[in-house]
Structure 1
Protein backbone atom coordinates (compact mmCIF):
# COMPACT_ATOMS: atom_id res chain seq x y z
CA UNK A 1 0.00 0.00 0.00
CA UNK A 2 1.43 3.41 -0.98
CA UNK A 3 1.42 6.41 1.27
CA UNK A 4 -1.64 7.89 -0.42
CA UNK A 5 -3.64 4.74 0.16
CA UNK A 6 -2.48 4.67 3.77
CA UNK A 7 -3.61 8.29 4.31
CA UNK A 8 -6.99 7.50 2.72
CA UNK A 9 -7.40 4.57 5.09
CA UNK A 10 -6.64 6.81 8.05
CA UNK A 11 -9.24 9.37 6.93
CA UNK A 12 -11.89 6.67 6.48
CA UNK A 13 -11.04 5.19 9.88
CA UNK A 14 -11.33 8.60 11.53
CA UNK A 15 -14.73 9.16 9.91
CA UNK A 16 -15.95 5.76 11.06
CA UNK A 17 -14.79 6.43 14.63
CA UNK A 18 -16.54 9.81 14.58
CA UNK A 19 -19.76 8.30 13.24
CA UNK A 20 -19.66 5.54 15.84
CA UNK A 21 -19.08 8.06 18.64
CA UNK A 22 -22.06 10.14 17.47
CA UNK A 23 -24.23 7.03 17.34
CA UNK A 24 -23.33 6.30 20.98
CA UNK A 25 -24.44 9.72 22.22
CA UNK A 26 -27.58 9.47 24.34
CA UNK A 27 -29.71 12.59 24.36
CA UNK A 28 -31.88 12.67 27.44
CA UNK A 29 -34.71 14.71 28.87
CA UNK A 30 -35.21 14.79 32.65
CA UNK A 31 -38.60 15.95 33.90
CA UNK A 32 -40.40 16.25 37.22
CA UNK A 33 -44.01 15.10 37.46
CA UNK A 34 -46.40 16.28 40.17
CA UNK A 35 -49.79 15.20 41.44
CA UNK A 36 -51.86 16.24 44.44
CA UNK A 37 -55.21 15.44 45.97
CA UNK A 38 -57.36 16.76 48.77
CA UNK A 39 -57.57 14.27 51.62
CA UNK A 40 -60.59 13.85 53.89
CA UNK A 41 -59.79 12.39 57.34
CA UNK A 42 -61.84 9.36 58.31
CA UNK A 43 -60.18 8.45 61.64
CA UNK A 44 -58.14 9.95 64.46
CA UNK A 45 -55.07 8.96 66.49
CA UNK A 46 -54.56 9.79 70.15
CA UNK A 47 -52.33 8.66 72.98
CA UNK A 48 -52.24 9.08 76.74
CA UNK A 49 -49.71 8.13 79.42
CA UNK A 50 -50.04 6.78 82.95
CA UNK A 51 -47.23 7.27 85.46
CA UNK A 52 -46.50 6.21 89.03
CA UNK A 53 -43.56 6.89 91.37
CA UNK A 54 -42.42 4.79 94.29
CA UNK A 55 -39.69 2.87 96.05
CA UNK A 56 -41.05 -0.53 95.02
CA UNK A 57 -40.86 -1.00 91.25
CA UNK A 58 -43.21 -4.00 91.25
CA UNK A 59 -45.93 -2.09 93.12
CA UNK A 60 -45.91 0.94 90.81
CA UNK A 61 -45.77 -1.32 87.76
CA UNK A 62 -48.87 -3.18 88.89
CA UNK A 63 -50.67 0.11 89.54
CA UNK A 64 -49.90 1.47 86.08
CA UNK A 65 -50.74 -1.83 84.38
CA UNK A 66 -54.14 -1.78 86.11
CA UNK A 67 -54.80 1.73 84.79
CA UNK A 68 -53.81 0.67 81.28
CA UNK A 69 -56.15 -2.34 81.47
CA UNK A 70 -59.03 -0.07 82.54
CA UNK A 71 -58.27 2.35 79.72
CA UNK A 72 -58.09 -0.47 77.16
CA UNK A 73 -61.47 -1.81 78.30
CA UNK A 74 -62.94 1.69 78.07
CA UNK A 75 -61.71 2.13 74.50
CA UNK A 76 -63.08 -1.25 73.41
CA UNK A 77 -66.44 -0.41 75.03
CA UNK A 78 -66.47 2.74 72.88
CA UNK A 79 -66.04 0.81 69.62
CA UNK A 80 -62.27 1.12 69.26
CA UNK A 81 -60.96 -2.06 67.62
CA UNK A 82 -58.57 -3.99 69.85
CA UNK A 83 -56.20 -4.27 66.89
CA UNK A 84 -56.03 -0.45 66.83
CA UNK A 85 -54.80 -0.23 70.43
CA UNK A 86 -51.11 -0.39 71.35
CA UNK A 87 -50.00 -0.19 74.97
CA UNK A 88 -46.63 -1.91 75.32
CA UNK A 89 -44.46 1.22 75.24
CA UNK A 90 -42.93 1.26 78.72
CA UNK A 91 -40.37 3.62 80.27
CA UNK A 92 -38.63 3.06 83.61
CA UNK A 93 -36.08 5.42 85.13
CA UNK A 94 -34.74 6.39 88.58
CA UNK A 95 -36.78 8.78 90.72
CA UNK A 96 -34.24 11.35 91.87
CA UNK A 97 -34.98 14.63 93.67
CA UNK A 98 -32.74 17.43 94.93
CA UNK A 99 -32.81 18.18 98.66
CA UNK A 100 -30.55 21.00 99.84
CA UNK A 101 -28.17 20.50 96.95
CA UNK A 102 -28.09 16.76 97.44
CA UNK A 103 -29.47 14.28 94.94
CA UNK A 104 -31.61 11.72 96.69
CA UNK A 105 -32.64 8.51 95.00
CA UNK A 106 -36.21 7.88 96.10
CA UNK A 107 -37.05 4.92 93.89
CA UNK A 108 -38.40 4.57 90.37
CA UNK A 109 -40.72 6.18 87.84
CA UNK A 110 -42.79 3.80 85.73
CA UNK A 111 -44.55 5.14 82.62
CA UNK A 112 -46.73 3.38 80.08
CA UNK A 113 -48.37 4.96 77.04
CA UNK A 114 -51.56 3.85 75.30
CA UNK A 115 -51.87 4.62 71.57
CA UNK A 116 -55.11 4.09 69.66
CA UNK A 117 -56.89 4.89 66.43
CA UNK A 118 -60.66 5.35 66.22
CA UNK A 119 -62.48 5.12 62.89
CA UNK A 120 -65.34 7.36 64.08
CA UNK A 121 -64.20 10.99 64.21
CA UNK A 122 -67.50 12.09 65.76
CA UNK A 123 -66.75 9.95 68.82
CA UNK A 124 -63.76 12.08 69.83
CA UNK A 125 -65.56 14.38 72.29
CA UNK A 126 -67.13 11.51 74.22
CA UNK A 127 -63.92 9.46 74.37
CA UNK A 128 -61.65 12.32 75.44
CA UNK A 129 -63.93 13.05 78.41
CA UNK A 130 -63.87 9.41 79.52
CA UNK A 131 -60.10 9.18 79.06
CA UNK A 132 -59.56 12.37 81.07
CA UNK A 133 -61.66 10.87 83.90
CA UNK A 134 -59.00 8.15 84.27
CA UNK A 135 -56.49 10.90 85.26
CA UNK A 136 -53.61 10.05 82.92
CA UNK A 137 -50.31 11.84 83.49
CA UNK A 138 -50.38 13.18 79.93
CA UNK A 139 -52.72 13.27 76.93
CA UNK A 140 -51.13 13.54 73.50
CA UNK A 141 -52.13 15.71 70.56
CA UNK A 142 -55.06 14.73 68.37
CA UNK A 143 -54.08 13.66 64.84
CA UNK A 144 -56.66 13.30 62.08
CA UNK A 145 -55.76 10.60 59.55
CA UNK A 146 -57.04 8.81 56.48
CA UNK A 147 -56.96 5.02 56.57
CA UNK A 148 -56.52 4.70 52.81
CA UNK A 149 -53.60 7.11 52.47
CA UNK A 150 -51.21 4.42 51.17
CA UNK A 151 -53.61 3.45 48.39
CA UNK A 152 -54.17 7.11 47.51
CA UNK A 153 -50.42 7.76 47.39
CA UNK A 154 -49.89 4.87 44.96
CA UNK A 155 -52.63 6.27 42.74
CA UNK A 156 -50.95 9.68 42.91
CA UNK A 157 -47.66 8.18 41.75
CA UNK A 158 -49.41 6.95 38.61
CA UNK A 159 -50.87 10.42 38.03
CA UNK A 160 -47.47 12.06 38.59
CA UNK A 161 -45.83 9.68 36.08
CA UNK A 162 -48.46 10.61 33.50
CA UNK A 163 -47.79 14.29 34.23
CA UNK A 164 -44.07 13.69 33.63
CA UNK A 165 -44.77 11.92 30.34
CA UNK A 166 -47.08 14.71 29.14
CA UNK A 167 -44.50 17.32 30.07
CA UNK A 168 -41.72 15.42 28.28
CA UNK A 169 -43.84 15.07 25.12
CA UNK A 170 -44.56 18.82 25.09
CA UNK A 171 -40.92 19.78 25.60
CA UNK A 172 -39.61 17.32 23.03
CA UNK A 173 -42.19 18.44 20.46
CA UNK A 174 -41.20 22.07 20.94
CA UNK A 175 -37.61 21.12 20.10
CA UNK A 176 -38.55 19.01 17.06
CA UNK A 177 -37.83 15.78 18.91
CA UNK A 178 -39.66 12.70 20.13
CA UNK A 179 -39.61 10.91 23.47
CA UNK A 180 -38.14 7.42 23.46
CA UNK A 181 -37.46 4.84 26.14
CA UNK A 182 -37.51 5.54 29.87
CA UNK A 183 -33.94 5.46 31.21
CA UNK A 184 -34.68 6.22 34.85
CA UNK A 185 -37.68 6.97 37.07
CA UNK A 186 -38.02 7.50 40.78
CA UNK A 187 -40.22 9.06 43.44
CA UNK A 188 -37.61 11.74 44.04
CA UNK A 189 -34.45 9.67 44.49
CA UNK A 190 -31.47 10.96 42.53
CA UNK A 191 -30.26 8.88 39.54
CA UNK A 192 -27.38 6.50 40.31
CA UNK A 193 -23.92 8.03 40.00
CA UNK A 194 -22.30 7.56 36.58
CA UNK A 195 -25.61 6.47 35.10
CA UNK A 196 -24.89 8.30 31.86
CA UNK A 197 -21.31 7.23 31.26
CA UNK A 198 -21.53 8.17 27.57
CA UNK A 199 -21.93 11.83 28.53
CA UNK A 200 -25.14 12.28 26.59
CA UNK A 201 -26.63 15.75 26.49
CA UNK A 202 -29.34 16.24 29.09
CA UNK A 203 -32.14 18.81 29.01
CA UNK A 204 -33.37 19.54 32.52
CA UNK A 205 -36.96 20.54 33.27
CA UNK A 206 -37.60 21.44 36.89
CA UNK A 207 -40.95 22.69 38.10
CA UNK A 208 -40.89 26.14 39.66
CA UNK A 209 -43.87 25.32 41.87
CA UNK A 210 -43.41 23.62 45.21
CA UNK A 211 -46.32 21.56 46.43
CA UNK A 212 -46.25 20.97 50.16
CA UNK A 213 -48.94 20.56 52.74
CA UNK A 214 -49.13 23.32 55.34
CA UNK A 215 -50.25 22.53 58.90
CA UNK A 216 -54.00 22.10 58.98
CA UNK A 217 -54.34 21.40 55.26
CA UNK A 218 -55.61 18.03 54.09
CA UNK A 219 -53.59 17.70 50.90
CA UNK A 220 -51.22 14.93 49.86
CA UNK A 221 -48.70 15.48 47.09
CA UNK A 222 -46.36 13.28 45.07
CA UNK A 223 -43.31 14.13 42.96
CA UNK A 224 -41.56 11.78 40.54
CA UNK A 225 -38.36 12.15 38.55
CA UNK A 226 -38.23 10.57 35.08
CA UNK A 227 -35.42 10.56 32.51
CA UNK A 228 -36.39 9.82 28.90
CA UNK A 229 -34.24 9.16 25.87
CA UNK A 230 -35.09 11.66 23.12
CA UNK A 231 -34.23 11.77 19.44
CA UNK A 232 -35.02 13.89 16.44
CA UNK A 233 -37.85 12.65 14.24
CA UNK A 234 -35.46 12.05 11.31
CA UNK A 235 -33.16 9.93 13.48
CA UNK A 236 -35.86 7.87 15.11
CA UNK A 237 -34.61 4.29 15.70
CA UNK A 238 -35.99 1.75 13.24
CA UNK A 239 -37.68 -1.37 14.59
Structure 2
Protein backbone atom coordinates (compact mmCIF):
# COMPACT_ATOMS: atom_id res chain seq x y z
CA UNK A 1 0.00 0.00 0.00
CA UNK A 2 1.37 3.43 -0.90
CA UNK A 3 1.89 6.21 1.63
CA UNK A 4 -1.05 8.08 0.11
CA UNK A 5 -3.39 5.14 0.64
CA UNK A 6 -2.15 4.58 4.19
CA UNK A 7 -2.83 8.23 5.04
CA UNK A 8 -6.27 8.04 3.41
CA UNK A 9 -7.18 4.91 5.34
CA UNK A 10 -5.97 6.21 8.71
CA UNK A 11 -7.64 9.60 8.25
CA UNK A 12 -10.95 8.01 7.29
CA UNK A 13 -10.96 5.69 10.28
CA UNK A 14 -10.08 8.47 12.73
CA UNK A 15 -12.78 10.73 11.32
CA UNK A 16 -15.48 8.06 11.46
CA UNK A 17 -14.61 6.43 14.77
CA UNK A 18 -15.87 9.12 17.21
CA UNK A 19 -19.36 9.27 15.75
CA UNK A 20 -19.99 5.76 14.50
CA UNK A 21 -19.49 2.18 15.54
CA UNK A 22 -17.13 -0.04 13.57
CA UNK A 23 -18.15 -0.64 9.98
CA UNK A 24 -19.36 -4.12 10.85
CA UNK A 25 -22.30 -2.63 12.79
CA UNK A 26 -22.71 0.80 11.16
CA UNK A 27 -24.60 1.08 7.85
CA UNK A 28 -22.02 0.69 5.13
CA UNK A 29 -21.31 -0.69 1.70
CA UNK A 30 -18.22 -2.54 0.51
CA UNK A 31 -17.20 -1.95 -3.08
CA UNK A 32 -14.28 -2.59 -5.35
CA UNK A 33 -12.75 -0.51 -8.10
CA UNK A 34 -10.84 -2.02 -10.96
CA UNK A 35 -8.59 -0.73 -13.72
CA UNK A 36 -6.61 -2.64 -16.31
CA UNK A 37 -4.62 -1.99 -19.44
CA UNK A 38 -3.05 -4.06 -22.19
CA UNK A 39 0.42 -2.78 -23.03
CA UNK A 40 3.15 -3.97 -25.34
CA UNK A 41 6.24 -5.27 -23.51
CA UNK A 42 9.55 -3.54 -24.08
CA UNK A 43 11.81 -5.63 -21.86
CA UNK A 44 12.55 -9.31 -22.59
CA UNK A 45 14.42 -11.29 -19.94
CA UNK A 46 16.05 -14.71 -20.22
CA UNK A 47 17.65 -17.09 -17.69
CA UNK A 48 20.30 -19.66 -18.61
CA UNK A 49 21.46 -22.72 -16.66
CA UNK A 50 24.91 -24.18 -17.31
CA UNK A 51 25.80 -27.51 -15.75
CA UNK A 52 28.52 -30.08 -16.42
CA UNK A 53 29.18 -33.42 -14.76
CA UNK A 54 32.48 -35.24 -15.03
CA UNK A 55 34.59 -37.71 -13.11
CA UNK A 56 37.32 -35.08 -13.15
CA UNK A 57 36.27 -31.76 -11.54
CA UNK A 58 38.71 -29.75 -13.67
CA UNK A 59 37.11 -30.94 -16.91
CA UNK A 60 33.60 -30.11 -15.69
CA UNK A 61 34.71 -26.67 -14.52
CA UNK A 62 36.46 -25.94 -17.81
CA UNK A 63 33.37 -26.80 -19.85
CA UNK A 64 31.13 -24.63 -17.66
CA UNK A 65 33.51 -21.68 -17.95
CA UNK A 66 33.68 -22.08 -21.73
CA UNK A 67 29.89 -22.10 -21.97
CA UNK A 68 29.63 -19.06 -19.71
CA UNK A 69 32.15 -17.11 -21.76
CA UNK A 70 30.18 -17.87 -24.92
CA UNK A 71 26.83 -16.95 -23.33
CA UNK A 72 28.04 -13.59 -22.01
CA UNK A 73 29.63 -12.80 -25.37
CA UNK A 74 26.33 -13.65 -27.09
CA UNK A 75 24.43 -11.41 -24.66
CA UNK A 76 26.63 -8.49 -25.65
CA UNK A 77 26.62 -9.31 -29.36
CA UNK A 78 22.81 -9.30 -29.38
CA UNK A 79 22.50 -5.96 -27.58
CA UNK A 80 21.43 -7.07 -24.11
CA UNK A 81 21.26 -4.17 -21.68
CA UNK A 82 24.79 -4.03 -20.17
CA UNK A 83 23.51 -3.40 -16.65
CA UNK A 84 21.19 -6.42 -16.87
CA UNK A 85 23.86 -9.01 -17.67
CA UNK A 86 24.45 -11.20 -14.64
CA UNK A 87 26.51 -14.35 -14.08
CA UNK A 88 26.50 -16.33 -10.85
CA UNK A 89 29.55 -17.60 -9.04
CA UNK A 90 30.57 -21.19 -9.64
CA UNK A 91 28.94 -24.00 -7.66
CA UNK A 92 30.71 -27.36 -7.24
CA UNK A 93 29.18 -30.41 -5.57
CA UNK A 94 29.28 -34.22 -5.74
CA UNK A 95 26.98 -35.80 -8.29
CA UNK A 96 25.09 -38.87 -7.15
CA UNK A 97 23.17 -41.54 -9.01
CA UNK A 98 21.04 -44.35 -7.69
CA UNK A 99 22.35 -47.90 -7.81
CA UNK A 100 19.75 -50.26 -6.44
CA UNK A 101 18.77 -48.84 -3.08
CA UNK A 102 22.01 -46.92 -2.64
CA UNK A 103 23.24 -43.56 -3.86
CA UNK A 104 26.67 -43.60 -5.44
CA UNK A 105 28.87 -40.60 -6.19
CA UNK A 106 29.84 -40.89 -9.84
CA UNK A 107 31.44 -37.52 -10.48
CA UNK A 108 31.48 -33.80 -9.78
CA UNK A 109 28.71 -31.40 -10.76
CA UNK A 110 29.71 -27.85 -11.67
CA UNK A 111 27.02 -25.25 -12.20
CA UNK A 112 26.58 -21.56 -13.03
CA UNK A 113 23.61 -19.44 -14.10
CA UNK A 114 23.38 -16.37 -16.31
CA UNK A 115 20.66 -13.88 -17.19
CA UNK A 116 20.13 -10.77 -19.27
CA UNK A 117 17.41 -8.44 -20.52
CA UNK A 118 16.87 -7.27 -24.09
CA UNK A 119 14.91 -4.28 -25.34
CA UNK A 120 13.72 -5.99 -28.53
CA UNK A 121 12.17 -9.38 -29.14
CA UNK A 122 14.26 -9.69 -32.29
CA UNK A 123 17.45 -9.53 -30.22
CA UNK A 124 16.19 -12.22 -27.84
CA UNK A 125 15.30 -14.46 -30.78
CA UNK A 126 18.74 -13.92 -32.32
CA UNK A 127 20.41 -14.80 -29.02
CA UNK A 128 18.43 -18.04 -28.70
CA UNK A 129 19.00 -18.99 -32.34
CA UNK A 130 22.74 -18.63 -31.84
CA UNK A 131 22.97 -20.76 -28.70
CA UNK A 132 25.01 -23.94 -28.79
CA UNK A 133 23.03 -26.18 -26.46
CA UNK A 134 25.94 -28.62 -26.11
CA UNK A 135 23.73 -31.52 -25.13
CA UNK A 136 22.13 -30.90 -21.75
CA UNK A 137 24.93 -28.76 -20.35
CA UNK A 138 23.39 -25.45 -21.42
CA UNK A 139 19.64 -24.92 -21.04
CA UNK A 140 17.17 -22.04 -21.17
CA UNK A 141 15.42 -22.14 -17.79
CA UNK A 142 12.87 -19.41 -18.45
CA UNK A 143 11.93 -16.00 -19.82
CA UNK A 144 9.62 -13.18 -18.86
CA UNK A 145 8.51 -9.93 -20.42
CA UNK A 146 7.93 -6.64 -18.66
CA UNK A 147 7.61 -2.90 -19.22
CA UNK A 148 10.34 -0.43 -18.43
CA UNK A 149 7.70 2.02 -17.15
CA UNK A 150 5.67 -0.56 -15.22
CA UNK A 151 5.79 1.45 -11.99
CA UNK A 152 4.37 4.57 -13.63
CA UNK A 153 1.60 2.58 -15.32
CA UNK A 154 0.75 0.88 -12.03
CA UNK A 155 0.42 4.28 -10.34
CA UNK A 156 -2.02 5.39 -13.04
CA UNK A 157 -4.03 2.19 -12.70
CA UNK A 158 -4.19 2.62 -8.94
CA UNK A 159 -5.68 6.10 -9.35
CA UNK A 160 -8.19 4.83 -11.92
CA UNK A 161 -9.21 1.97 -9.61
CA UNK A 162 -9.75 4.39 -6.72
CA UNK A 163 -12.02 6.58 -8.87
CA UNK A 164 -13.86 3.47 -10.06
CA UNK A 165 -14.54 2.37 -6.47
CA UNK A 166 -15.94 5.84 -5.70
CA UNK A 167 -18.24 5.73 -8.73
CA UNK A 168 -19.45 2.24 -7.83
CA UNK A 169 -20.20 3.30 -4.27
CA UNK A 170 -22.17 6.36 -5.41
CA UNK A 171 -24.17 4.27 -7.89
CA UNK A 172 -25.14 1.73 -5.24
CA UNK A 173 -26.04 4.40 -2.69
CA UNK A 174 -28.38 6.11 -5.16
CA UNK A 175 -30.03 2.81 -6.06
CA UNK A 176 -30.91 2.21 -2.39
CA UNK A 177 -31.98 5.80 -1.70
CA UNK A 178 -29.17 6.47 0.74
CA UNK A 179 -26.40 9.02 0.89
CA UNK A 180 -22.78 8.04 0.64
CA UNK A 181 -20.81 8.96 3.73
CA UNK A 182 -17.13 8.97 4.52
CA UNK A 183 -14.75 6.29 3.40
CA UNK A 184 -14.10 3.97 6.33
CA UNK A 185 -11.24 1.88 4.96
CA UNK A 186 -9.33 1.22 1.77
CA UNK A 187 -7.44 -1.95 0.94
CA UNK A 188 -4.98 -2.51 -1.86
CA UNK A 189 -4.70 -6.26 -2.53
CA UNK A 190 -2.01 -6.57 -5.18
CA UNK A 191 -1.51 -9.90 -6.92
CA UNK A 192 1.73 -12.05 -6.44
CA UNK A 193 3.80 -10.71 -9.82
CA UNK A 194 2.95 -6.93 -8.51
CA UNK A 195 -0.55 -6.62 -10.01
CA UNK A 196 0.38 -8.24 -13.28
CA UNK A 197 -1.39 -11.18 -14.81
CA UNK A 198 0.45 -14.16 -16.22
CA UNK A 199 2.65 -13.16 -19.10
CA UNK A 200 1.04 -13.76 -22.49
CA UNK A 201 2.81 -14.80 -25.64
CA UNK A 202 6.40 -15.34 -24.52
CA UNK A 203 7.01 -18.76 -23.08
CA UNK A 204 10.51 -20.19 -23.22
CA UNK A 205 11.01 -23.08 -20.86
CA UNK A 206 13.37 -26.03 -20.78
CA UNK A 207 14.60 -28.44 -18.16
CA UNK A 208 17.72 -30.50 -17.81
CA UNK A 209 16.06 -33.75 -18.81
CA UNK A 210 13.85 -32.83 -21.72
CA UNK A 211 13.79 -29.65 -23.77
CA UNK A 212 10.35 -28.22 -24.49
CA UNK A 213 9.35 -26.31 -27.64
CA UNK A 214 10.25 -22.63 -27.61
CA UNK A 215 7.53 -20.07 -28.40
CA UNK A 216 8.50 -16.46 -28.94
CA UNK A 217 5.27 -14.85 -30.06
CA UNK A 218 4.97 -11.29 -28.82
CA UNK A 219 1.66 -10.67 -27.11
CA UNK A 220 0.13 -8.00 -24.94
CA UNK A 221 1.04 -7.63 -21.29
CA UNK A 222 -2.00 -7.22 -19.06
CA UNK A 223 -1.53 -4.92 -16.08
CA UNK A 224 -4.29 -4.46 -13.54
CA UNK A 225 -5.04 -3.02 -10.13
CA UNK A 226 -8.01 -3.51 -7.80
CA UNK A 227 -8.96 -1.31 -4.85
CA UNK A 228 -11.37 -2.43 -2.14
CA UNK A 229 -13.17 0.23 -0.09
CA UNK A 230 -15.80 0.46 2.64
CA UNK A 231 -18.00 3.55 2.69
CA UNK A 232 -20.28 4.53 5.54
CA UNK A 233 -23.90 5.35 4.63
CA UNK A 234 -26.17 8.17 5.74
CA UNK A 235 -29.96 8.28 5.32
CA UNK A 236 -30.97 10.30 2.28
CA UNK A 237 -32.61 13.63 3.09
CA UNK A 238 -36.23 13.83 1.97
Q: The TM-score by the shorter chain falls in which range?
A: 0.5 to 0.7
Alpha-carbon shift at residue 172 of structure 1 (Å): 1.1
Q: Does 1:152 align with 2:153?
A: yes
**Which of structures 1 and 2 has the bigger CA Rg?**
1
**2: CA distance, partners of 1:100 / 1:177:** 75
**1: CA distance, partners of 2:51 / 2:131:** 15
Q: Does 1:68 align with 2:68?
A: yes
Structure with the higher fraction of residues in helix conformation: 1
- Per-residue CA deviations over 1:93-127 (Å, capped at 9, x if unaligned) read 42223567764322211121211110111223321
Q: Does 1:164 align with 2:154?
A: no
Alpha-carbon shift at residue 213 of structure 1 (Å): 5.9
2:106 alignment partner in structure 1: 106
Q: Name stretches of at least 5 consecutive residues in structure 1 with no aligned partner.
A: 1-22, 190-211
Q: Name stretches of at least 5 consecutive residues in structure 2 with no aligned partner.
A: 1-18, 191-196, 202-219
SS in 1 for 2:132: helix
What is the TM-score normalised by the length of structure 2? 0.68
1:117 alignment partner in structure 2: 117
Residue 187 of structure 1 contacts residue 223 of structure 1 at CA under 8 Å; is this kept in 2? Answer: yes
Residue 133 of structure 2 contacts residue 139 of structure 2 at CA under 8 Å; is this kept in 1? Answer: no
SS in 2 for 1:131: coil
**1: CA distance, partners of 2:48 / 2:20:** 63
**1: CA distance, partners of 2:199 / 2:117:** 23
Q: Does 1:37 align with 2:37?
A: yes
**1: CA distance, partners of 2:57 / 2:114:** 20
Residue 48 of structure 1 contacts residue 138 of structure 1 at CA under 8 Å; is this kept in 2? Answer: yes
The count of aligned residue pairs is 192
Residue 213 of structure 1 contacts residue 221 of structure 1 at CA under 8 Å; is this kept in 2? Answer: no
Match of 1:232 among 226, 230, 235: 235
Alpha-carbon shift at residue 37 of structure 1 (Å): 0.8
SS in 1 for 2:153: helix
Residue 178 of structure 1 contacts residue 233 of structure 1 at CA under 8 Å; is this kept in 2? Answer: yes
Query: What RMSD over aligned residues (CA atoms) do the two structures have, in Å?
Result: 3.0
**1: CA distance, partners of 2:144 / 2:20:** 54
Residue 98 of structure 1 contacts residue 104 of structure 1 at CA under 8 Å; is this kept in 2? Answer: yes
2:84 alignment partner in structure 1: 84
Residue 89 of structure 1 contacts residue 114 of structure 1 at CA under 8 Å; is this kept in 2? Answer: no
2:188 alignment partner in structure 1: 187
What is the TM-score normalised by the length of structure 1? 0.68
Alpha-carbon shift at residue 185 of structure 1 (Å): 0.6
